[in-house]
Amino acid sequence: VSIGRDPIEAAVENWRRAGWSEASRGMAAVTSVMRAQQLMLQRVDEVLKPFKLTFARYEVLMLLRFSRTGALPAGKVGERLQVHPASVTNALNRLEDDGFVARVANPRDGRSVLAEITPAGRQVAADASAVVNAKVFEQLPLGDDELDALFDVLRNLRAGWGDIGDGLP
Amino acid sequence: VSIGRDPIEAAVENWRRAGWSEASRGMAAVTSVMRAQQLMLQRVDEVLKPFKLTFARYEVLMLLRFSRTGALPAGKVGERLQVHPASVTNALNRLEDDGFVARVANPRDGRSVLAEITPAGRQVAADASAVVNAKVFEQLPLGDDELDALFDVLRNLRAGWGDIGDGLP
DNA sequence: AAAGATTGAAGCCTCAATCTTC
DNA sequence: GAAGATTGAGGCTTCAATCTTT
């Protein structure tokens, strides 16, 4: 088997030669995650394209689909998805244009806007999920143990960076 | 310890309730990578900001800094970094504006443009690397074994998707 | 004043089209 | 005609500023 064909392994070599051995593990981990994200996003977006969805919009749609009432304040959406309010506005605009979501006034707070999934939204959410599950999530070239290990390590990373709330108000 | 405070674990719960248990592992893995990438990029970009660099530009700069002659055809840069030619053009424009890189005509091929790192570029590459290594790569809240496991799993993923050349022309 | 959402600006990425050179 | 690079368009993200409602 060949060595040095992997750009990331090549980078590790460079780091070591530069005397940065201490940081090479972290560099490799970070670079690997960056590249894996790029590949995963490409695959998901490609599969979602026929549905006029992107991963960003798909996530919003699924969040609403799994909510109790099918509607959530825009702010809540950004909070759950850990994304900037401006990104939510953008996603809702496009989802609304395609009739997958409707903006509804929040009866409890005039400042707030509720994003409500429409019947068409529920339909596309179901159809898109079937394909994403079958073509991407169930087709990752990794074993169950590897998938679990990946999740566990990244959960530790997120926890270590305070990204996971401890549930204590 | 609390349960359900992690948005990704909540998503896994939803997936199971929807009858998509088969895909829940993959969904969790993909979502975890997406989120980890977001967090890592934020940290790296924040540390790089004082140097007027982004991770994208930093990668270009380091690639040139580790090249034999300090110069590479723009196409090669995109190839190594696995990024679109248009992204390379964009990065080179900004790096050139800051005097970190200079575009040089390729004596061997009039169509090609060589990106050459300048002395200022080498300086900022060294300074920025010291900080990125110390503040990010060496500060990941993971053990060496976890970092290695993360790299290994993601290498398998990349290999499984044909992202790693086998070295056989 | 403070919170919720939107707008405009700027950065990165990709794709399609274009221009130059081989 | 094909390859290398650039341009323009469109999508996503964040930040800062703004506007409305509490």
Contact flag B30-A44 (C-beta cutoff 8 Å)? yes
Q: pLDDT (tens digit, 9 = 90+) per residue, A75-95?
A: 999 999 999 999 999 999 999
> Please, which residues bridge with residue A103 across strands?
A115
Nearest to A81 by CA among A89, A107, A44: A89
Helices (H) and strands (E) in chain B, counts: 7, 3
- The nucleotide closest to A91 (CA, C1' atoms): D12
What is the pLDDT at residue A164? 87
Alpha-carbon torsion, ordered A48, A52, A54, A60, to 10 deg: -110
Question: A-chain residues within 8 Å CB-CB of B156?
Answer: 141-142, 146
> Searching chain B, which residue's CA lies closest to the CA of residue A65?
B14
Task: Point out the residue nearest to D21 (C-alpha to C1').
Answer: A111
Contact flag B29-A147 (C-beta cutoff 8 Å)? yes
Nearest to A140 by CA among A60, A35, A46, A44: A44
Nearest chain B Cα distance for residue A4, angstroms: 8
HEC sequence for chain A: CCCCCCHHHHHHHHHHHCCCHHHHHHHHHHHHHHHHHHHHHHHHHHHHHHHCCCHHHHHHHHHHHCCCCCEEEHHHHHHHHCCCHHHHHHHHHHHHHCCCEEEEECCCCCCCEEEEECHHHHHHHHHHHHHHHHHHHCCCCCCHHHHHHHHHHHHHHHHHCCCCCCCCC
CA–CA separation, A10 and B6 (whole Å): 35
B14: DSSP letter: H
Task: Point out the residue nearest to D19 (C-alpha to C1').
Answer: A111
Q: pLDDT (tens digit, 9 = 90+) per residue, A136-160?
A: 999 999 999 999 999 999 999 999 9
Residues whose CB falls within 8 Å of the CB of residue B28, separated by 6 or more in sequence, listed in order: A147, A151, B8, B9, B11, B12
Would you tell me how many other CB atoms lie within 10 Å of the CB of residue B166?
Answer: 10
CB-contacted nucleotides of strand C (7 Å):
3-9, 11-16, 20-22
The pTM assigned to this predicted structure is 0.94
CA A86-A50-B84 angle, 5° bins: 65
Contact flag A133-B167 (C-beta cutoff 8 Å)? no
10-residue block means of pLDDT along chain B (169 residues)? 75 96 97 97 96 97 97 97 97 98 96 98 98 97 97 96 70
Whole-number average pLDDT of chain A: 94
What is the pLDDT at residue A166? 57
Contact flag A153-B154 (C-beta cutoff 8 Å)? no
CA–CA separation, B123 and B120 (whole Å): 5
Q: pLDDT (tens digit, 9 = 90+) per residue, A1-58?
A: 445 589 999 999 999 999 999 999 999 999 999 999 999 999 999 999 999 999 999 9
Residues whose CB falls within 8 Å of the CB of residue B23, separated by 6 or more in sequence, listed in order: A132, A133, A134, A137, A138, B15
